[in-house]
Structure 1
Amino acid sequence: MAKTQDYTAIMKDFMGAFPVDTSSMEDAFKTQATLNEKLSAVALEAAGKSTDLSTKWTKETLTKMSEMSKAKTDPADYAKAMTDFASACAEMSAENMAAFAEIAKKVQTDTVELMMAAGKDMTEEASAAVQKATKDATTAAKKASTAK
């Protein structure tokens, strides 16, 4: 009776001839985690600045409203107070929207810089991993050919 070949042993020998190096995966994970940390820092900084700006804008608006809501002796003074309030709000809006645009511009610039740096790092890591894998495969192939 013929004996069945042990495919488990064959696969084990085959996989042993081509070892897997997990360090490149670990490096990629570390690089990704570092990138995420830096992107989070950019987002949190922008959120903090936006919150500060919104709070400042609200306080300024309330201050202007307080001036407008004071009792006046002459009815024409109410119209003037309303006009002054509208002018101040328009001016504050323009200034604050420009400040929000600067925050957004900084976020965009920082993000692009981080992505460019990460792309460069990942390209270098991938190149190094491919070179190492090629070297390991060549070494394994040479061992396999001399073992015959």
Structure 2
Amino acid sequence: MAKTPDFTKPFQDMMANLPVDTSSMTEAFKSQAQLSERMTRVALQAAERSTEISAAWAKDTLARMGELTTSKDQPADYAKAMSDFASAAAELAAEHMAAYAEVAKKVQMDTVDLLLNAGKEAQADAQRMAQTATTNIQNVARQAQDAVTNPGNKDKA
């Protein structure tokens, strides 16, 4: 039976001879980690503020409930208390929803700012990596050309 050729060694040799700059990958990883940290900070701040709004809303509602549950002398007073509670609840809802909208607006603005800055950094990193790769490939091409034109001098290749 025919054996499948093992390309492991030639492939390892080829990869060992390619000029690879791992510092660019390290920098890319660091940039991504920093972006993640900033995005997490934005999300956590939004969650904290949203929790504060929810707690204030619940506290205000419970305070209004206390007024609603007091005993009344006349049945009409119960209807008025319920009406007052409903209008106060609607007012509270509008106020707190506006506060939530402000949180969402701030998160959106911060996220867009972070992503724009990350895009600029990524573009600069990519340009720097491309320049380094181009220089390395040109050097390897020169060495290969020198090896072909001067076969007796193997120290350069």
The TM-score normalised by the length of structure 2 is 0.84
> How big is the shift at 1:147?
2.4
Superposition deviation, residue 66 in structure 1: 0.3
Give the RMSD, CA atoms, in angstroms.
1.7
The equivalent of 1:3 in structure 2 is: none
Q: Aligned equivalents of 1:16 and 1:113: distance in 2? A: 41
CA shift for structure 1 position 111:
0.5
Give, in angstroms, the shift of residue 10 of structure 1: 9.0
CA distance in 1, matches of 2:93, 2:12: 70
Could you tell me which residue of structure 1 aligns to residue 28 of structure 2? 28
Shift of 1:145: 1.2
TM-fit CA distance, 1:11 = 6.3
User: Counterpart amino acid of 2:49?
Assistant: K
**Whole-angstrom CA distance in 1 between matches of 2:10 and 2:66:** 85
Runs of 4+ in 1 over 2 A off after TM superposition: 7-12, 14-18
Residue 84 of structure 2 is matched in structure 1 by 84
Checking the alignment, whether the CA contact within 8 Å between 1:17 and 1:140 is kept in structure 2 is: no
Extract unaligned runs of 5+ from structure 1: 1-6
Q: Matches of 1:32 and 1:139 in 2, distance apart?
A: 30
Q: Residues 1-148 of structure 1 correspond to what in structure 2 (within 5 A)?
A: 8=9, 12=13, 14-148=14-148
Task: Identify if the C-alpha distance between structure 1 residues 87 and 11 changes in structure 2 by more than 3 Å, giving closer, same or farther.
Answer: closer
Q: 1:10 to 1:62 in 2, by over 3 A?
A: closer
2-structure distance, mates of 1:11, 1:88:
74
Give 5+ residue unaligned stretches, structure 2: 1-7, 149-157
Aligned-residue offset at 1:49? 0.4
Alignment TM-score, normalising by the size of structure 1: 0.89
How far apart, in 2, do the equivalents of 1:64 and 1:11 lie? 74
Deviations 1:98-121 (CA, angstroms, capped at 9, x unpaired)? 110110111111111111110110
Aligned length in residues: 141
What is the CA-CA distance between 1:15 and the residue it aligns to? 3.9
